[in-house]
Amino acid sequence: MNNSNVSWLGKNTPYIIAGPCSAETEEQVLQTAHELAKDPRITAFRAGIWKPRTRPNNFEGHGTMALPWLQRVKAETGLPVCTEVANAAHVEDCLKHGVDILWIGARTTVNPFSVQEIADALRGTDIPVMVKNPVTPDLQLWLGAIERLHNVGLTKIAAIHRGFSSLEKTAYRNAPLWSLAIDFRVQMPEIPMICDPSHIAGKANLLSEVSQMALDLDMAGLMIETHPNPPAAWSDAAQQVTPHVLLTELLAGLTVKQSNSDDIDFVIKMEQLRQRIDHIDKSLLQLLADRMEVAREIGVSKHDHRVTLLQLRRWADLLDKRLEQAKALQLSDKLIEQLYNLIHQEAILTQKDAALSQKDKAKSL
C-alpha cells in the first residue's frame, strides 16, 4: 500500500474497520467488539448510531443514548470507535463522548449544505473524518465534500467507496463503478480510499469478490458490517457476516498485494509490456484522428446535399457489425458499446462543425 497519510488508522495494512450496521443493544455492540478485538487485523470498530432510512417507521438508530456503548467498546477493547454523523448536533455529541473517527454517509455527501454544517462544527478539531461517495455517481460532489473538510483545517481525511445507486439491475446492491473511484484517486491522490464492500455487495456471498477487487485497486482498507447474528439484524441483515466468518473466511481468503515489486525480471517485463502499450496507443490515436477526418468530409458532403447529420439506420448497422467483430476478437460488448457511443457522438459534433464551416465559407464567397 502506498497511502502514506493514513497512519491515524493504525499500523496494519490493509486497514479493516468492522462492526454492526446499527448499534442495536449494548450487549450486541460489546459482544461484536470483543470478538473482533481478538484479531490484530481489526483496526477500528464501527456502529451506526443515527441511521438515515428511506422510509419512516424503520429503525433509525438509538442516537445519543448509544454513544456510551461505544465508550465502553473503546475502554474494554482498546479499539478506536467510529460512527456516522449527518449534522452539527451529531458531531457535537460524538466529540463529547470521545468518538475517535467520524464518517459522512452517502445520503449526506450529496447535500453540500449538510457537509458544510458538519465541517463548520469540526472547525478547530483534528478528528479523522471519512467521506462516503454520494448516492448518485457525481464525482464533483464527492471531491467537494473533501474540500469543505480540508478548508476548515482538517488533515486526517479519507474517502469511502460504497457504490452508487442505479436503475440498472445488477448483482450488486449499489453499482461499484470502479472507474469513478479511480477518477477520484487520480484527482486526489493524497486522500486515502477505503472500500465499503457491504454496501456495494448487499449480499454476504459477494463480499469476498468486492473486497478483493478493492485491494487489487490498491485501496487502503475495508469497512465491513459485522453482526453476531446477521439474520436477526435490525437493518441490512443480508449484507452482514458474523465476526467468525469475517476473520476465518473472508479476511483469510483475501490476497494482499504490493503496489510494486523490486524483482528485476518483473521490472524489465513491465517496461517491455508498457512500451508495447505506448506503441499501440499511438496507433489508436492516429486511427481516431483519421476517422474524425473522414467524419469532417462526411459533414461537408451532408451539408452540400442537405442531408441530416444523424443517420439512425446507418448507426444501428455499424454498431451491430462492430459488436460482431468484437465478439470474434473476444472483446466485451460493454466496452465496444461505450467506446463506439463516444466515437459516434464525437463524429456527429465533428460533422456539425464541418457543416458550419462550409456554411461560413459559402457566405464569404
- Average pLDDT by consecutive 10-residue portion of the chain (365 residues)? 51 89 97 97 95 78 95 97 97 97 97 98 96 96 98 96 89 94 95 96 96 95 97 94 97 90 92 96 96 95 91 94 95 94 95 85 68
Residue 137, domain extent: 7-250
* pTM for this model (two decimals): 0.84
Residues 45 and 190 grouped into a single domain: yes
Query: Quick check: is 53 in a domain?
Result: yes
State the Cα–Cα distance between residues 236 and 46, nearest whole angstrom. Answer: 14
**What pLDDT was estimated at residue 57?**
75
Residues 125 and 15 grouped into a single domain: yes
Residues 270 and 346 grouped into a single domain: yes
- Least Cα distance to 33 among 19, 22, 48 occurs for 19
**CATH classification at residue 333:** 1.20.59.10
Residues 268 and 232 grouped into a single domain: no
Query: Quick check: is 207 in a domain?
Result: yes
Residues 274 and 237 grouped into a single domain: no
Residues 287 and 240 grouped into a single domain: no
**What pLDDT was estimated at residue 56?**
79
CB hemisphere CA count around 333 (13 angstroms): 3
**Total tally of structural domains belonging to the chain:** 2
**What pLDDT was estimated at residue 8?**
66
State the Cα–Cα distance between residues 1 and 14, nearest whole angstrom. Answer: 8
Task: Please identify, among 181, 216, 250, the residue that sits at the C-terminal boundary of a domain.
Answer: 250
Residues 201 and 337 grouped into a single domain: no
**What pLDDT was estimated at residue 9?**
66
182-190 contacts: CB < 8 A, separation 24 or more? 182/217, 183/139, 184/133, 184/139, 184/142, 184/143, 184/159, 187/139, 187/143, 188/143, 188/146, 188/159, 190/5
